[in-house]
Structure 1
Amino acid sequence: MSPSPTPMEPARIELALDGITHGGEAVGRMPNGKACFVPHAIPGERVLVEITEERKRWARGRLVEVLEASPARIEAPCVYARPGRCGGCQLQHIEPTAQLALKRRIVTEQLERIGHLEDPPVNPTMPVAAFHYRNSARFAVDEQGRLGFRRAGSHEVQPIDECLLLDPAVQALRDEAGDGWQGAEEIVVRAGLSTGDRALIVRPGAGGLPPMPDGSTPVALEGSSGAVALRGEPDLAEMVEGRTFRVSPTSFFQASTAGAALLVRLVLASTEIQPGDTALDLYAGVGLFAAFLADAGAGVTAVEADPVAAADARRNLAKDEVTVREQDAAAYVAALVADQEQRDVVVLDPPRRGAGVNLCAGIAELDPRVVVYLSCDPAALARDAAALAKAGYELTEATPVDQFAQTAQIETVAVFRPAHRLARSAADDDG
């Protein structure tokens, strides 16, 4: 019998890095011309990488050694923010001010490459907080019942007892939750930072309901049909810009309370609400933006497809000039268009996949004077910016907001206005 062939060692190459993806990986060109994506690296560096994956047009490499470091490189303060460990913080090895510049670059490049916009008007990234900003966290559970986060590019759980992104109140709740969660799939810890409310939300695994921890913290069980309270009242109250919002266990709420306040201020500044305006808040969630649009004097319709979040919105907006519609955003807008209705202002905060061509076209048919689009994915924003441009709406301003510092996530507030009105305004100025 002939001996088995000796496995080939993974190829190692030197790369000069000059780009960055919207996922936070640095990019360099291999000798064969393929793009190579390298986590934990920085544009401008020269590095030694080990090729871990190679496809027809691209490859991915593991950082072996930094041969020429960027001035922006720092030692990540978290012991888990290392190659092969926690996949949560893609940028913790980069100095915070440089992170802001890179995020602006990512948004700009996505708008240029995917949105086909020339010299898009992207403002400097607005910071929120570098650490200790999250009001919630979703932990995975390993086979021993320990809480942690997924390793980068893997389903394997990295046990984690301290996360530097968590507000101290959330970290304290994680400490209280402990690590005896055998049988659970995920554990969510949430806190109302301004109210002191706290809750644990348990998603059971195939093994059924795990044992409940001691204590008085409210606990809810999350299933496919919603959440059921197991102990106490798991709804939270959180205050943003002086208003209190009730949030059910499964309802979406911004994971940074300070970031939510900044987003509200940007939306109000961009919409320039006048008393009597008609405003549409799509993907309204628990009513965050609708509340402040109404406070500014607009008559608002808040549209939210999730029944639990829509119920929260009705509760939060009960005293406001707001109508809450539990409906798909695209279907609702299509019905307005069919009835030849118009709106003065449209605000939308779609999920990561974006709004889509049909909804963008429908929004344009409503002839709003301004569309404010909140995006959590620059690539989706770029696709929808192209769709809005085709429908006659020009991007006049995009402001990245760094409410998820140390990670590659970017929130962007993008403002679109009708191109024909902009052209008329420019002509009046010239005259």
Structure 2
Amino acid sequence: MTNRRQRENKRMKKNNKKQAQKQSGPPKNNSRPPKPQKRNENKVTAMVTCKELTSDGKGIVEWEGKQLEVPHLLTGEKAEILVNAKGRFANPKVKRIIKAHETRVTPPCPYYYECGGCQLQHMSNQAQNDFKQDVVNKLMKPFGKPNPIMTMKHPYDYRNKSHMTYAMTNDRQIIGGLYASNSHSIIDIDKCLIQDPQADDIAQTIKRIMKKYKMQPYDEDTGKGFLRHVLIKVGKESGQVMVVLVAASPIFTGQKNFVKLLREKHPQISTVLLNINDRDTSVVLGNQEKVLYGKGTITDTLGGLTFEISSKSFYQINPPQTEKLYGKAIEMAQLTGQETVIDAYCGIGTIGLIASEKAGNVIGVEQNKDAVGDAIRNSKRNDIQNARFYQGDAGEFMTEMASRGEKADVVILDPPRSGSDEAFLSSVVKLKPKRVVYVSCNPETQARDMKYLVKNGYKVKEIQPVDMFPQTYHVESVCLLERA
């Protein structure tokens, strides 16, 4: 198993070098006539026409009576695709574009067709915006017409959080980068176009230091090796940088020299942590952690406030667009300085603390104990007196408020991609706030949840999509609901 994975990594490294020299991918218009279907080792080539796109940007085609979803196709394009003729999954891939759509562009990233991090780089920026607008429009059609999407002027270099993984090839070379799409094979990447450039440089330096000190990357199959992942967080406004070394063991030989060399090359690094993850899991961070350099946290500025960020803190990955998103959410809340605002799923308190300037008082509720601690510290750091944070289930918290006859004027919620559950939504209905501001990174689950609220006395007044994740199919949406 290990040798096969190492051979795959070696092959991918060679392919990446070729890609860097010429940006590969599905060829554009080709005058050669399409080849007839032919079978070779269970692979079939077939001529197809893309009918439309899925919400995650894949092209829908018909093949032998089946509907397939093919990555990197655009509506109306004719293409030759490669499919797996046997087995449960066809895993279709574009082999050759016969007729290209006018919005197709050459992806600027040489790793695009192997890496699964981005899905829309074969579209022009305008086409990406139109695609995301259309996705939100369709999902929100029962509730009204969404506003034009808030776009990003420079849709690259925006991620303030980067995650890199390292591995050893068959010829004993250390590679580092991202997982290939739908696999655990690592693509050796020098630069990711949507990450902060500092993170790419630091990741490359770590790879060189590993070679110098003969540090072994962790092998998932054998359970041997030391370094599993590297997590890098960048304060876009503060300029502070956090480096988290995720290791399989707390025994770090030569850690002082490692940190010294890393900071000599990158003096902007504010803190370095060692996180221990000795479990057989795909979860990146473990529970044990120690600081090797600095305070163990960094700060950044958002909405005029300073926030402390730890290794496990949830902090929006695109600060410029977050300013737009949160600004719109607070505008929808229509605060006059008298309202009681509940910030459900409050995390480290970002949106609640920003709203506190215009609210009477803010109540933040969050399940994660560490996040609540961060929120309280952020409140004190910014000298905010009218915000309180509690650990617990937000739905239960609001149900108890309602049973005591207490009121809230506005509920702001920003749940995970899975959305809210009926228990939480029913607690909102019981509490009867005048306005609900629903921030979501998944408009599909947002639309599902809003359907419940509409059935129970609320009306959707405004829908605003925001492109928080350029080059990917993800789109954020914030909606205002008012009690009828």
Same fold (TM over 0.5): yes
Aligned with 1:406: secondary structure? coil
Are residues 1:253 and 2:286 paired?
no
- Pair 1:199–1:397, CA change in 2 (3 A): same
Partner of 1:106: 135
TM alignment of 1:17-416, pairs within 5 A:
17-32=50-65, 34-52=66-84, 60-82=91-113, 85-111=114-140, 118=142, 120-128=144-152, 129-143=154-168, 145-178=174-207, 180=210, 182=217, 183-205=226-248, 212=255, 213=258, 214-216=261-263, 217=269, 218-223=271-276, 224-225=286-287, 227-318=289-380, 319-320=383-384, 321-416=386-481
* TM-score, normalised with respect to structure 2: 0.78
Q: What CA distance in whole angstroms lies between the structure 1 residues aligned with 2:106 and 2:327? A: 34
- Pair 1:15–1:122, CA change in 2 (3 A): farther
- Measured after TM superposition, the shift of residue 187 of structure 1 is 0.9
Aligned with 1:127: secondary structure? coil
Q: What CA distance in whole angstroms lies between the structure 2 residues aligned with 1:329 and 1:145? A: 45
Q: What CA distance in whole angstroms lies between the structure 2 residues aligned with 1:365 and 1:382? A: 20
- Measured after TM superposition, the shift of residue 186 of structure 1 is 1.7
- Pair 1:8–1:162, CA change in 2 (3 A): closer
- Measured after TM superposition, the shift of residue 243 of structure 1 is 1.4
Q: What CA distance in whole angstroms lies between the structure 2 residues aligned with 1:226 and 1:353? A: 28
Aligned with 1:311: secondary structure? helix
- Measured after TM superposition, the shift of residue 293 of structure 1 is 1.2
Q: Is the 8 A contact 1:248 1:309 kept in 2?
A: no
- Measured after TM superposition, the shift of residue 39 of structure 1 is 0.7
Structure 1 spans left out of the alignment, 5+ residues: 1-5, 112-116, 421-431
AA aligned to 1:317 is: S
Q: What CA distance in whole angstroms lies between the structure 2 residues aligned with 1:344 and 1:119? A: 22
Q: Would you say how many aligned residue pairs link Structure 1 and Structure 2? A: 405
Q: Is the 8 A contact 1:256 1:403 kept in 2?
A: yes
Q: Is the 8 A contact 2:303 2:354 kept in 1?
A: no
AA aligned to 1:194 is: E
Structure 2 spans left out of the alignment, 5+ residues: 1-38, 218-225, 264-268, 277-285
- Pair 1:225–1:151, CA change in 2 (3 A): same
AA aligned to 2:275 is: E
- Pair 1:232–1:122, CA change in 2 (3 A): same
Q: Is the 8 A contact 1:121 1:396 kept in 2?
A: no
Q: Is the 8 A contact 2:442 2:476 kept in 1?
A: yes
Mean Cα deviation higher: 118-127 or 183-192? 118-127
CA deviation map 1:293-334 (0-9, x unaligned): 111133100112111211111011122210111112222223
AA aligned to 1:14 is: M
Percent identity of the aligned residues? 26
Mean Cα deviation higher: 265-274 or 166-175? 166-175
Q: What CA distance in whole angstroms lies between the structure 2 residues aligned with 1:211 and 1:332? A: 48
Aligned with 2:356: secondary structure? helix
- Measured after TM superposition, the shift of residue 149 of structure 1 is 0.9
Partner of 2:21: none
AA aligned to 2:71 is: P
Q: What CA distance in whole angstroms lies between the structure 2 residues aligned with 1:53 and 1:194? A: 51
AA aligned to 2:242 is: A
Aligned with 2:275: secondary structure? strand
Partner of 1:14: 47
- Measured after TM superposition, the shift of residue 121 of structure 1 is 2.3
AA aligned to 1:66 is: I
AA aligned to 2:450 is: A
Aligned with 1:152: secondary structure? coil
- Measured after TM superposition, the shift of residue 354 of structure 1 is 1.0
- Measured after TM superposition, the shift of residue 241 of structure 1 is 2.6
Q: What CA distance in whole angstroms lies between the structure 2 residues aligned with 1:407 and 1:211? A: 39
In angstroms, what is the RMSD of aligned CA positions? 2.4
Q: What CA distance in whole angstroms lies between the structure 1 residues aligned with 2:416 and 2:273? A: 24
Aligned with 2:396: secondary structure? helix
